[in-house]
């Protein structure tokens, strides 16, 4: 192996570890569930690109789908709620998370929430991916 090949291989491995490609790193589509009452921060998005932040308390059993693979040293992960209070109905979920002044505003497009990675294993558990 040439000197450059060794350097490139070492840099590749270091880069993969840095961006969270290890077996424990969260990947797009992973499912997480709150195991106790949890306060989440969220962001609503409109067609024109504007956003507005909000905070919501969610009950145990709320299920979230990871939107983007875990990267670098960030201590949060962006998710979309897919089940709350035993309901998977999209309209119910939007109404549960967003107050009327946000969800009824013209041009409402979507929303997401961020979860703290520090809460995984304490307030949040990972679920098996559906096959």
Range of the domain at 111: 26-127
5 belongs to a structural domain: no
1 belongs to a structural domain: no
7 belongs to a structural domain: no
**Single pTM value for the model:** 0.79
The Cα 23–Cα 106 span in angstroms is 42
| CA 21-16-1 angle, 5° bins | 135
101 belongs to a structural domain: yes
The Cα 80–Cα 72 span in angstroms is 20
Instruction: Count how many domains the chain has.
Output: 1
32 belongs to a structural domain: yes
19 belongs to a structural domain: no
Residue 60 near residue 37 (C-beta atoms within 8 A) = yes
For residue range 52-100, what is the model confidence (pLDDT) as tens digits?
Answer: 999 999 999 999 999 999 888 889 999 999 999 999 999 999 999 999 9
């Amino acid at each position: 192996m040439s000197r450059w090949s060794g350097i490139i291989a070492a840099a590749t491995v270091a880069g993969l570890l840095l961006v969270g490609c290890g077996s424990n790193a969260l990947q797009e589509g992973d499912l997480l569930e709150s195991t106790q009452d949890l306060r989440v921060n969220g962001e609503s998005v409109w067609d024109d690109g504007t956003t507005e932040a909000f905070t919501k308390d969610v009950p145990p059993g709320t299920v979230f789908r990871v939107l983007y693979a875990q990267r670098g040293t960030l201590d949060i992960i962006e998710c979309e709620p897919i089940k709350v209070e035993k309901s998977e109905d999209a309209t119910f979920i939007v109404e549960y998370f967003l107050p009327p002044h946000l969800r009824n505003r013209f041009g409402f497009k979507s929303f997401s929430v961020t979860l703290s990675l520090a809460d995984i294993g304490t307030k949040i558990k990972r679920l098996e991916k559906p096959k």
